[in-house]
């Protein structure tokens, strides 16, 4: 691609991570002011109250991610609700950012979708400028700092970034939280998911066992939480990149369970 030639860029996505050359990278060159598309330009600094909206936003979810010996696993439901109406029963809440980084989204779907896109753009620009991929830790910090000017506004983004630099998991929230951890669950259904995960997740799980724990956790959460439901998506991240399991309808699971009672 033309931009790659201009930057004398060598695509390192295909190469093993240990052969990257590390440059003493300066801080990420400051991106253009927020007036460059598509960051929202009209921050409500002038009015003390924001404009009252005549419609509700899309919220409510169950997402989870955890690390184990086989990599990082991320799972989420697919229901996108809008104060009582299911606006979309098949939305995608786990968005791939690049081949080795996946982000789960929770909060307002428009905010999550657009900020993930902005993050993907910035990570790609970083990679082209500095000839190396930004680590998951760096991506989390970048996202957190990009969201900081909007703290106190109605932006609602609660994402977990699951990446492979040796396996890393970070939770970033629009109120400024940025945490590293081994296990996170986010959303209105997270208390139910946590109970399954706290019982079932161990470091030594195999990939099949881990997938079934993740699926079970999302299933139980969708069963009890009104704002989660429909399908479950499972993504698995390893040194070779992310792989996606086929989307599963939880209705079948529910009837299977009923029959075995």
Partner 1 sequence: IFTLQTFGDPGKMKDYHYTGPVEHRFSPYAFNGGTVLAVAGDDFAIVASDTRLSEGYSIHSRDSPKCYKLTDTTVIGCSGFHGDCLTLTKIIDARLKMYKHSNNKTMTSGAIAAMLSTILYGRRFFPYYVYNIIGGLDEEGKGAVYSFDPVGSYQRDTYKAGGSASAMLQPLLDNQIGFKNMEGVQHVPLTKEKAVQLVKDVFISAAERDVYTGDALRICVITKKGIDEQTLPLRKD
Q: Which residues sit at the interface with partner 1, rule CB under 8 A?
A: 37-44, 50-61, 80, 82-83, 85, 87-88, 91-92, 106-111, 113-114, 153-156, 187-188
Q: Which two tokens stand for residue 221?
A: 């959460």
CB of 226 to partner 1, least distance (A): 12
In which region does residue 71 sit, left (phi positive, over 0), alpha (psi from -120 to 50) or beta (all else)?
Answer: left
Nearer to partner 1, 79 or 133 (CB): 79
Secondary structure (3-state) at 74: strand
Nearer to partner 1, 22 or 37 (CB): 37
Nearer to partner 1, 92 or 195 (CB): 92
CB atoms within 10 A of CB 62: 33
CB of 10 to partner 1, least distance (A): 28
Give residue 18's Cα distance to chain centre: 25
Q: Is 62 a catalytic residue?
A: no
CB of 42 to partner 1, least distance (A): 5
Nearer to partner 1, 72 or 94 (CB): 94
The residue from 18, 61, 160, 238 that is catalytic is 61
Nearest partner of 107 among 147, 142, 71, 155, judged by Cα: 155
Number of continuous H segments (helices) and E segments (strands) in the chain: 6, 13
CB 60 within 8 A of CB 105: no
CB of 105 to partner 1, least distance (A): 10
Residue with tokens 């977990």: 160
Q: How many residues does the chain have?
A: 261
**DSSP type of residue 129:** H
Give catalytic residues, as residue numbers: 61
């Amino acid at each position: 691609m033309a931009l790659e030639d201009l930057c004398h860029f060598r695509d390192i996505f295909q190469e093993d991570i240990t052969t990257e050359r590390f440059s003493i990278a300066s801080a990420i060159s400051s991106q253009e002011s927020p007036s460059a598309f598509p960051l929202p330009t009209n921050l409500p600094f002038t009015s003390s109250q924001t404009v009252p909206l005549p419609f509700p936003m899309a919220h409510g979810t169950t997402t989870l991610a955890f690390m184990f010996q086989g990599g990082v696993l991320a799972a989420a439901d697919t229901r996108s609700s809008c104060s009582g109406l299911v606006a979309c029963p098949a939305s995608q809440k786990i968005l791939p950012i690049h081949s080795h980084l996946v982000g789960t989204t929770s909060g307002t779907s428009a905010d999550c979708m657009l900020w993930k896109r902005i993050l993907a753009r910035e990570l790609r620009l970083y990679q082209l400028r500095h000839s190396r991929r930004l680590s998951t830790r760096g991506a989390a910090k970048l996202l957190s700092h990009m969201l900081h000017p909007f703290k106190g506004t109605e932006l609602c983004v609660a994402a977990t970034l699951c990446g492979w630099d040796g396996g890393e998991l970070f939770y970033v929230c629009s109120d400024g939280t940025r945490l590293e951890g081994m296990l996170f669950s986010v959303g209105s259904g997270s208390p139910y998911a946590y109970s399954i995960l706290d019982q079932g997740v161990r470091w030594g799980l195999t990939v099949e066992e881990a997938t079934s724990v993740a699926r079970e956790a999302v299933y139980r959460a969708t069963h009890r939480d009104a704002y989660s439901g429909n399908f479950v998506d499972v993504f698995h991240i390893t040194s070779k990149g992310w792989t996606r399991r086929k989307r599963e309808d939880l209705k079948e699971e529910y009837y299977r369970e009923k029959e075995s009672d």
